[in-house]
Amino acid sequence: MAWYKRTQDDDEVAGEKRSVPVGVFTKCPGCRETLLTADLKANADVCPKCDHHFLMGTRARVALIMDEGSFVEVDTRIESLDPLGFRDSKRYPDRVRAAWRQAGTPDALISGWGTVGAVPVEAGFFAFEFMGGSMGSVVGEKVTRVFERALERRVPALIFCASGGARMQEGVLSLMQMAKTSAAISRMRQAAVPLVSILLHPTTGGVAASFAMLGDVIVAEPKALIGFAGARVIQNTIRQSLPPGFQRAEFLLKHGFVDCIVHRREMKDSLTRLMRMLIPTDTRATAS
Q: Do 106 and 229 lie in a common domain?
A: yes
Rounded to 10 deg, the angle between the 137-153 and 172-190 helix axes is 10
Percent of the residues in the chain that have a pLDDT greater than 90, as a whole number: 86
Answering whether pTM is above 0.75, one says yes
* Pair 224, 213 in one domain: yes
* Total structural domains within the chain: 2
Report the C-alpha gap between 159 and 134 in whole angstroms.
15
One domain for residues 129 and 65: yes
Model confidence band, residue 1 (pLDDT cutoffs 50, 70, 90): very low
Report helix, strand or coil for 254: helix
Residues 136-145 have pLDDT tens digits of 999 999 999 9
Q: Is-cis flag, bond preceding 202, omega within 30?
A: yes
Name which of 227, 274, 282 is nearest 255 in CA terms: 227
Report the pLDDT value the prediction gives residue 3, as an integer from 0 to 100.
52
What's the rounded Cα separation, in Å, for the pair 110 and 130? 11
- Report the C-alpha gap between 206 and 33 in whole angstroms: 35
Q: Look at residue 72 and tell me whether its pLDDT is greater than 70.
A: yes
pLDDT band at 208 (very low <50, low <70, confident <90, very high): very high
168 and 255 inside one domain: yes
pLDDT at 13 over 50: no
Residue type, position 159, single letter: I
pLDDT tens digits, one per residue of 34-69: 999 999 999 999 999 999 999 999 999 999 999 999
Range of 45's domain?
A: 9-54
pLDDT at 18 over 60: no
Q: What CATH number did the domain enclosing 149 receive? A: 3.90.226.10
Residues 191 and 140 in one domain: yes
Q: Are 41 and 85 in contact (CB under 8 A)?
A: no
- 220 SS3 class: strand
Cβ(112)–Cβ(123) under 8 Å? yes
**For residue 214, which phi and psi values (nearest 5 degrees)?**
-110, 10
* Same-domain check for residues 231 and 162: yes
4 in a domain, yes or no?
no
Residue 225 lies in a domain: yes
Q: Is 92 contained in some domain? A: yes
What's the whole-number average pLDDT of the chain? 91
Answer whether residue 246 is part of any domain: yes
What is the reported pLDDT for 7?
55
SS3 content of the chain, % helix, strand, coil (to 5): 40, 20, 40
Shared domain for 37 and 72, answered yes or no, is no
d(CA 158, CA 146): 8
> Within a domain: residue 257?
yes
Mean pLDDT, rounded, for 159-181 = 96
Taking the CB of residue 187, how many other CB atoms lie within 10 A of it? 12
Spatial contact of 53 and 75, defined as CB atoms under 8 Å apart? no
CA torsion sign for 246, 251, 256, 257 is positive
What mean pLDDT comes out for the span 75-97? 94
